[in-house]
Amino acid sequence: MAYSAAQLEQARKLGTSTLFEASGLATGAANAAIRPVWAGASIAGPAYPLECSPGDNLAIHIAMEKAPRGSILVISTGGFVAGYWGEVLTVAAEAAGIAGLVIDGGVRDVAALTSRRFAVFTRGISMRGTIKASAPSVGQPISLTGTPVAPGDLVVADDDGVLVIPAAHVEHALANGQARADKEARMMEALAQGKSTLELMGLTSWRQAR
C-alpha cells in the first residue's frame, strides 16, 4: 500500500493517541512494553512485517533486500530479547531507505542509534548477539504481541506507543483523527479563556455530586 507524503505527515502529526481513539480499533495498539530507544522518535509509514526465530536475525538481513523504500520493518521474535539490530543494520537501513524499526525483541548499540536519529521501537536492550540460521517469515502477515500486521498497513509510532492501522481503515482513521484534533484545539482555546473541562465535556452534573 502506498501512502502520500501528506498522509504520512498528517499521521505523524496527529500521533498515536489521537489516531488510536479515532480508528476505533482496539487491536491496533502494540504492547505498551515496546518503547522508543530515544525520546522524541516519531515515524509513520507502510509496514513490512517479518518474523525472526528466537536469537536469530537472518530474516532481517533478507528483508533488507526486499522491503520497499519508505517501509517500516515490523518484527516479531516471540518476545525473545537479544541484540537483533544494531549500528551495522542501521547504516544498511538508511542506505536502503528504510524509515524505521518496530521489534518485540531487542536491539543494541543504543548510542549509535540515538546519534544517528534512526527511529527504533523495541521491547528491550541486549548486548547479546544473534545467529543467522533461519527465516520463518519475510513480507507476510504476522502477529506483533497480538496486534495483526499485514504488508502495507500504516504504522505510526511515537513516545506514546506503536499503532498499526489496517490499510483499508487508514483514510477513515485519518479523517476522524483530524476532526478529533480540531475539536481538541477548540477546547484548549476555550480552556485558555477560562472555561472548565467539566463545562466543555458536559460533566457539570458532577459539580453537585462533590
> In order along the chain (210 residues), what is the average pLDDT of each group of 10 residues?
93 97 93 96 98 98 97 96 97 97 97 97 96 97 96 98 97 96 89 83 69
Is residue 163 within 8 Å of residue 74, measured between CB atoms?
Answer: no
Number of residues written out for the chain: 210
Instruction: State residue 207's pLDDT score.
Output: 63
pLDDT more than 90, % of the chain: 84
Does the annotation list 128 as a binding residue? Answer: no
120 burial (CB, 10 Å; 0-12 / 13-18 / 19+) is buried
Rg (CA), the chain: 19
Q: Which helix (H) or strand (E) holds 142?
A: strand 142-144
Does the annotation list 161 as a binding residue? Answer: no
Question: Per-residue DSSP letters for 160-208?
Answer: TEEEEE-GGGHHHHHHHHHHHHHHHHHHHHHHHTT--HHHHTT-THHHH
| Burial track 33-43 (b if 16+ CB lie within 10 A, e otherwise) | ebbbbbeebbb
Q: Where are the domains of the chain?
A: 5-173
**What gap in Å lies between CA 38 and CA 33, rounded to an integer?**
14
Does the annotation list 86 as a binding residue? Answer: yes
Calculate the average pLDDT of the chain: 94
Does the annotation list 89 as a binding residue? Answer: yes
Instruction: State residue 125's pLDDT score.
Output: 97
**What gap in Å lies between CA 119 and CA 18, rounded to an integer?**
20
Instruction: State residue 201's pLDDT score.
Output: 81
The cell numbers describing 91, all together, are 547504516
Does the annotation list 110 as a binding residue? Answer: no
Does the annotation list 87 as a binding residue? Answer: yes
Instruction: State residue 209's pLDDT score.
Output: 54
pTM: 0.92
CATH superfamily of 5-173: Ribonuclease E inhibitor RraA/RraA-like (3.50.30.40)
Instruction: State residue 202's pLDDT score.
Output: 80
The cell numbers describing 21, all together, are 481513539
